[in-house]
Every structure is written in C-alpha cells, then in structure tokens.
Chain A
Amino acid sequence: MSDGYLYFPGCSLKGTGIAYEESLLAAFRLLDLKLEELDDWNCCGATSYMSMDETQAFVLSARNLSLARQAGNRDLIAPCSACYLVLRKTQDYVGKYPSIRDRVQASLRDADLPMMDGVRTRHPLEVLYNDVGVARIRSMSVREWRGGPLVCYYGCQAIRPYYEVDKPVQQTRMEEILGAAGIPTVDFALKTKCCGGSLTGTIHEVGVRLNYILLKEARRKGAQAMVTLCPLCQFNLDAYQAEIRKQNRESLDMPIFYFTQLLGWALGADPRSLGVQRSISGRRLAREWFSVEQEVPAHV
C-alpha cells in the first residue's frame, strides 16, 4: 500500500466547482499530504441514478471504489458532498446487503474488476480534522486573517446519514479548523438547512427562496461571508444573489467560499491558486481580503 490519498473529483470539481479543486490541492500540498487523482474515474452515480436504477447507480459508484482498490487500496477522498454520499452509501450497502453485493460483484466481474472491499470513502474535512488535526493546522498557519467574520454552512449530504464528517447536529469541525487557522466564525442555527439543492433548476423560485433564507440569516448573525464544503451549496448560494437583490430590494453581496480556500490562504498559498477570483458574488470583498489585485473573469 502506497502512502497518501486518492482523489475522486467528480464532475463538479472539474466544472463549476473548480475553485474547490484548486484550493484543495493547494492546501493539501502545503500540509504535505499526497493526493493522487484516481485514474479513469467515472460518474459517481449520484443525481437521479439512485431513484431511476439502483443497481446501475451502485455499480457506477462501485467501479470507482474498485479502481481505488486496484490503485493501492488507499483512502478515496471525495470532496463533493453528493459524490461522498453515494460512494459512502455504496460501500455501506454492499457490505450490508447480500443481494446488492451479488449484483455489484457480477457487474464488476464482467468488467474484470476486483471487488472493492476495504476501500474507504472519505471527505476532506474529516481527513483534515482527524488525520492532520487542529493543532497541526494551528502550527502551520502563517497568515493573519484580514477579512470579516464568517459562518460555516455544512449542507445535508456530507453530514447525514453517515456521521463521519461531523456530528449530525450542531457541527463544529469547520469552525474548529478555521479557528485554528486564525479565521473568526460566528455561530449559526441553519448549518444543515437546505441550500435549495437542485430546486434552483427545477422549481426555481422555491430554490432561490431557500438560499435567500441562509444568506439573510448569515448576515443577521453578523457574518460577511459564508463557508461551504459542497460545490452545489456553494453554487446555489453564490449564483442567485443578483436575482435576490432585485426581487427583494436587498443590498446583499456576500462571498461564498470553500473552507479549503480559507485554509489554503492561512497556510500561505498564492491567493491566485485558490480560485477566489472565480466566484460570482462578493467579488469586491474577496479581492480585498485575499489581496487578489487583478480582476480575472469569472469562471461561470
């Protein structure tokens, strides 16, 4: 078994969530953690697969886990909450239910792939918290935060029903990690309240209302920005602020960060390598706090 971790980007981290990938890789590099992208990875099996064809969803997911097993059986880090959940669920269900195991095994055999037993799906927040530890992050942080206070928002899929990333209620690990990196946070009651999920694309006004609730409450608590650990949450909170401003005659313009961007900054990463310039909302604040001088066109 080789050291370090395998990395499963999934579609988001190569697309709308590329800032998450950039900042994750930067932060891990600075913490001396090896992170190797899984070769030949495919769709994680999330989105509507599970409700359309369960077997197919499990098999898609299992193929990634099986590849990870072939690649030295290292822990597989899935930063996107949707990827994390479906991979973690596959790992769990294949272990628990013989009928699912049989179907998955048959499909993997057809593809000449080994069973994925023993591969662990992990989330970067939990890896940083458990394997690196708050104390080490504190000692490795080199920059002093010049920005305002933030609220940490955890969303749903990384948190439940598997309780490995953080506690099922009143999560604190992002706060602890950012606190260790010298970045102030304020407490917030809506850490797992819905971000709108895919509703922003289907029943748009409901989805937008849901993320407006979060943004408004974060501001009421005195936060100037929000921190997320999921590309969908980040996108929802980031992308519709202009619409919210217009509809509600609001002055809202709040940057929405990935926790890895803030951590990377505290660890001394080049601000340009963290993708902060890519977000849609709160660009002025983000530029100011991260000292990104030049305007760079938004990714989306």
Chain B
Amino acid sequence: MSKLNGNIRIGVYVCHCGTNIAGTVDVAAVARAAAGFPGVAVSREYKYMCSDPGQELIVKDIREHNLNRIVVASCSPLLHEHTFRTAVEKARLNPYFTQMVNIREHNSWVHQEKGAATEKANDLVRAAVRRVACHKPLEKSRVPIDPAVLVVGGGIAGIHAALTLANSGKRVYLVERDATIGGHMARFDKTFPTLDCAACILTPKMTAVKAHPNITLWTLSEVSAVEGYVGNYEVAVTRHPRFVHEDLCAGCMQCVEACIYKKPKYEDEFNYGLSKRKPVYLPFPQAVPQVVVIDPEDCIEFKSGACKKTCVEACGDRHAIDFEMTDWTEKIKVGTIILATGFQAFDPKRIPYYGYGTYPNVYTSLEIERLVNAAGPTGGEVVLRDGKSTPRSVGIIHCVGSRDETTNRWCSRVCCMYSLKLAHLIKEHTDAEVFNFYIDIRTPGKGFEEFYQRLLKEGVHFIRGKVAEVTDWALDPSEEGKLVIRVEDTLSAFVRRIPVDMVVLALGLEPHADAQEVRRRFNITCSTEGFFLERHPKLAPVNTFTDGIFLAGCCQGPKDIPDTVAQAGAAAAEALVLIDAGYVETEPNTAYVLEEECSGCRTCITLCPYRAISHVEAKQKAEINPVLCKGCGTCVAGCPSGSIQQNLFEDEEIFEEIAGVLNYVR
C-alpha cells in the first residue's frame, strides 16, 4: 500500500440493478466490506446507480467528502462507463479517476450461489479499489475533420451517397472502376415490385452527379493507396487511360462511326456479351460521362500501330483521341470515406450441372435483364441464342449460388423477388409457360408478398425443390430438342422432369473477387463470407471498425435497391455528423512509447492492426499516433523490451488489480 498516500479518497458505489444484481449478490455486504478497504472514504449501495439520483449521489459525495477516486460496481462498462465518467466530470474531477466493476454480466447473471457470488464481488471491488488509486489524470484529444468525402463505387449506392453529401454543400470525390457510373442497376430492366423502369429512375441521378458542382467524378479509376486517419485521409487514386480526353470529347460518336471496324466485333460488356461493340465505344447510350472509351485490347492501333486511325480523322479539330495516354495518379485529402463497391454475380459455371456454358439456352438472370430491356441487344424481344425463336416455356431456377453448402451459404435476398419480376416480364413479352423452381419463396418487403400473389394469379408455375440438373437428354419424344429440368417436387413428393426451351439461373450475390485486397487497402474488416463488416449489425450498420470509413450497399451484404439507397443515405449522414462537428474526440486509453528504452526494432509496427505505429528515422524509435491507436494492447504485449505502456493499463495498475483480486498484501 505504499502507493497510497494520504490524498487518496475513494468512493465505492454498489448497484442493485433492481434484482438483477441484488438477487444473487448481497450488495449490502459488498458495500460494508468495501468500506474497510484501504483508501475508501465512502461506501454505499443504491438501487439504480445509473439513474439521475444515483449519479447525483456520486457528485454530492465528491463535493462533500472530498473524494478523488470513484469505483462503481454495477454492469458492463460498455453500457455505463460513459455515464459515470460524465457524472465524475460534472463534479470537476478528472473522468479517468473512475473505475467500473462488472458484477452483473460477470457475476450475478452467471452465478446462482449467493455466498460465492458475494465473495467474488468483494474480490472484484477490492481489485478496482487498488487499481483506481494508481489512475492518472488523462485528457481526450481532438482531431479536426477535413470536410471533403471520398465515395468509392459509382453504383446506385455511391451515386446516392455522393449526391446527398454534395447537396449539403460538401466536396465529394466519386471514384468508379468502370468507364461509366450506374453499376448493376443501369443494366436492370424493371425494378420489383413496382415494375418501374430502372433506367428512368437512375439516369437522372447519374446526370445529376456529372452536373453537380460539388462532385468530382473519376471513372476508370481505382483507389491505390490510403494513408492517415479519421478526418485526415490522404488517398491516391490511379486513373486508367480512356485514350479519349474527357474535357475534349463532345460525345458525338463520329469516331465510333468512322472506326476501321465497319461492324462491331467485340463482346459488349454492358450487355454481358449478348451483343457486340467496336474497339471504340460508348458503354451504353445514357453513360455518364458521355465520353467514348477505347479498349486497347481490341484496338488495331494498339495491337499493330499501323491503323489508319479513321477515328482521329473523324474527331478532327477536337483532338480528343490520344493513344499516348497512360496511368496517372491523383492525390486527394478527405476526412471521411464511403465504400460502395457493390457485389459480383455468382459465376454459374461453378455449378456445372445447371449447364451454363454447355447448353446455349441456359441464361443468367442478368442476361435476361438485358434481353427483356427495350434498349437491350434484341430491342426487348426475348429470343433464344439462335436469335430468332421465341421460347414457349421457360424455367427459372432460384438460389443458384445461394443457400448452398458447396458454393455460398447465405441467402442473396433479392433473387426471389427478381425471379418473380423476370417471370412476369418473360410472360408479358412471350406468353410462355414460366416455371419457378424455388427452395423457399422469400418476400419480406413492402409490396413484395402482394407481388408474389399477383404472379400466382397470372398463372406462373411454382415448383418447390432444389433443381438437380439441367440436361439435354430426352427421355421421350416430347422432350426432344428441349432442356429438361430434373427436380424433386417436395410438395408432391416425386421427382419431375420439366422440359423447357429456356433456363434462367437466378444468380446469387457475392463479394467482389478482390474484396480482400480492397479491405486491406482501407484497413477495414470482412465477415467470413467476404462482405465488408459493419461495426455492429444492428446499432452501427454503416460504420466500420475504422473511424471515418462507412459502408453502403451490397459491399456490406446482399440487399435490394430500396435498402441500398437507405443505407447510402445513412452512410452520408454518418459522414455529415463528423464533418459538421468539425472534430472528433478520441479516448486517451492509447499506448505510448518510453523512448529511452525503445531499441527501434520495429516489432510493434508489424503487429499493430491499425497502422498506428511508425518508425521515426531521425530518432530510430517507434512512435504511436494516438489518433489511430485503438488501445488494443497488442504492441504493449509484443514489445520485446517492455518499452510500450498503455494509459489505463499501465503495469502498476494491472499489478495492483491482480493483487487486489487475490487479496495479496505486500
């Protein structure tokens, strides 16, 4: 007890939490025992310490009894540490002179025997009393927030977040990997369950992005490096060459017309290869920016260097085409980042027994979106791959790459509804018999169940069962020339063979192939399936574990358009909270280096999960940035020379706590 001088005056408060604690722990006995611990000046029990009168009790005692340390034995510090620190601060005492003891989650809720539970509470309180005596006054620090925001990904999520922020007057950088913004939504025909046209509601927002004075839009661009911390991120964006200068191109398309390829020859990515494009092309008519792009893989000038360059000729005095363009890097400073990088559709070739790639008339759901679209490769005519015949029967297989042990285990949430939508559209376009093969129909959304009922009335067939295979083997003449869907109909309990002309695979949603790479670049975490992980699934759904970085849309998990837009709005709001506050306060429970003992071995630098530690060349010592440090303690434990300490977890504090819990008297 040599550390305890005459100045330490501790107040101990033991909470009943109604009967939550008092039902199992003899709180009066704990308070009595605590009164006898060294340094304790006041010891009380109270029904609800977190209530206003409970907090007032602490404030009054600090003033009247001249207390300078507070121990509250109640619930988890996750819930009320902030409450009691604030109360202590109100009495003009440093808030970090407070220590909580968790005698609810760690004690009364997990024990039954009152005597032993009370004894355990005594030990824990004794530990806290001894530790709190060693606490030092600490200060929170403030970090200013740069008001500019980076939005990564130009799908509907990124577009909505960017516009929300820009409309509130903030500077936004929108970075998109493709040549146009719009993402998956730009390729959809109608949206469920209202059947409004996707392009009609999306393209005005795309145009608004381009026209907005507060938005800097960079397409064909990728974030290559992220440095810094909340409020002060330094981001490098690699801009890939379009080989057409955006500021010079007028979008007149004369170069496309004049291209040496008279006919489109290359797979059109926007239509998933269902149509062809030239080496110079506009991704789709409403692309934003309205600037053509040259694919160097396809262009003769890049391949041989000997093209007549009729495109350059057609461009004339504008001189927009530039074959010499190369990658360049833009460096920007932003305070917050919103990741809206979206999803990739499941690759159906991973399930070979559904025949995608083997049988031409097996399609993906995305291909059908383009096929039923009036602006699509067939002008909205649903025809088979031969380009002429209309399917008279169509089978839609649900859950392809979803809810499947061998591929992806999660439900992709949107496939039931978009399959219903496609069933409706195919029927409308072709009057074909449409069969849906489903495991469960999931319609939990506004107007979704009503849409399902509508389809039942429209005469779409529903067969409950996971499809075994799609085959071209005809069992009898009626199946000749058809694709046969083999399925166990689990409602009528027999195996069926359904011959159809066209099979549609309802692809699931999965994380991008490079999601892990992106995760590392932004220093955030992923869930086991590879989607970016939110800080809390319910209460912090758009935050990440890295301050100042937020999530929107399908990069966090599969979701439909309404949910994506809602989440994008929420992410924008979270960014605005930081920007409008102007600064963030950071907790002082951070680690610090004892410079005279640090040997500069850099062990801690590689251990730190938050990239908070750097090596100062001039001093040959490690330095911890308190803004980035999350107080995890890894470096403290890892330092070979013991030269890193952490506020609130200093050796002395921990040893006193251990001595206290063991009732060890030196």
Contacts and interface: CB of A to CB of B under 8 A. Distances in A.
A193 B475 CA distance: 13
B358 A187 contact: yes
Contacts of B655: none
A63 B473 CA distance: 42
Contacts of B302: none
A187 B360 CA distance: 14
A10 to B, nearest CB: 31
Contacts, number: 18
A217 interface: yes
Contact of B352 (A170, A193, A213): A170
Contacts of B469: 169, 189
B609 to A, nearest CB: 38
B471 A189 contact: yes
B641 to A, nearest CB: 48
A217 B358 contact: no
A190 B353 contact: no
Nearest to B359: A189
A170 B473 contact: no
A299 interface: no
A260 B358 CA distance: 27
B93 to A, nearest CB: 64
B473 A169 contact: no
Nearest to B480: A220
B473 to A, nearest CB: 4
Chain A interface helix/strand/loop/mixed = loop
Contact of A169 (B353, B472, B475): B353
Nearest to B352: A170
A169 B471 CA distance: 12
B352 A167 contact: yes
Contact of A170 (B358, B472, B475): B358
Contacts of B352: 167, 169-170
B461 to A, nearest CB: 24
A186 B606 CA distance: 55
Interface residues of A, number: 10
Interface string B343-368: 00000000011000010000000000
Interface residues of B, number: 9
Nearest to A171: B352
A169 B406 CA distance: 13
Contacts of B475: 213
Interface in B310-342: none
Contacts of A190: 471, 473
A223 to B, nearest CB: 13
A169 to B, nearest CB: 5
A169 B473 CA distance: 15
Chain B interface helix/strand/loop/mixed = loop
A193 B353 CA distance: 13
B357 to A, nearest CB: 10
B466 to A, nearest CB: 14
B381 to A, nearest CB: 29
Interface string B457-488: 00000000000010111110000000000000
A187 B475 CA distance: 17
Interface string A154-177: 000000000000010110000000
B362 to A, nearest CB: 12
A161 to B, nearest CB: 13
Contacts of A189: 469, 471-473
Contacts of B353: 169-170
B476 to A, nearest CB: 11
A282 to B, nearest CB: 22
Contacts of A213: 475
Nearest to A187: B358
A213 B471 CA distance: 14
A189 B497 CA distance: 14
A187 B469 CA distance: 16
Nearest to B475: A213
A220 B476 CA distance: 13
A34 B106 CA distance: 68
A133 B471 CA distance: 30
Contacts of A220: 474
A213 B473 CA distance: 9
Interface string B589-611: 00000000000000000000000
A238 to B, nearest CB: 21
A2 B469 CA distance: 45
B246 to A, nearest CB: 46
A31 B405 CA distance: 40
Give the one of B358, B469, B473, B474 with max A CB within 10 A: B473
Contacts of A187: 358
A187 B472 CA distance: 11
A107 B358 CA distance: 50
A185 B204 CA distance: 53
Contacts of B473: 189-190, 193, 217
A189 B216 CA distance: 53
B199 to A, nearest CB: 37
A191 to B, nearest CB: 11
Contacts of A217: 473
A189 B358 CA distance: 10
A213 B352 CA distance: 22
A220 B471 CA distance: 14
A170 B353 CA distance: 7
Nearest to A169: B353
Nearest to A172: B352
A139 B276 CA distance: 38
Contacts of A170: 352-353, 358
A169 B467 CA distance: 14
B584 to A, nearest CB: 53
Contacts of A169: 352-353, 469
Interface in A215-238: 217, 220
A217 B475 CA distance: 9
A251 B318 CA distance: 72
A42 B472 CA distance: 42
A169 B469 CA distance: 10
Give the one of A167, A169, A190 with max B CB within 10 A: A169
A240 to B, nearest CB: 19
Give the one of A189, A190, A220 with max B CB within 10 A: A189
Nearest to A167: B352
A62 to B, nearest CB: 31
Contacts of B358: 170, 187
A1 to B, nearest CB: 36
A217 B469 CA distance: 17
Contacts of A167: 352
Interface string B168-211: 00000000000000000000000000000000000000000000
Interface string A171-212: 000000000000000010110010000000000000000000
Nearest to B471: A189
A211 B471 CA distance: 18
A213 B475 CA distance: 8
B468 to A, nearest CB: 10
A167 B351 CA distance: 11
Contacts of B471: 189-190
Nearest to B353: A169
A40 to B, nearest CB: 42
Nearest 4 interchain pairs by C-beta:
A170-B352, A189-B471, A189-B473, A169-B353
12 contacts: A167-B352, A169-B469, A170-B352, A170-B353, A187-B358, A189-B472, A189-B473, A190-B471, A190-B473, A193-B473, A213-B475, A217-B473
Given A167-B352, A190-B473, A220-B474, 6 more contacts: A169-B352, A169-B469, A170-B353, A187-B358, A189-B471, A189-B472
Interface of A: 167, 169-170, 187, 189-190, 193, 213, 217, 220
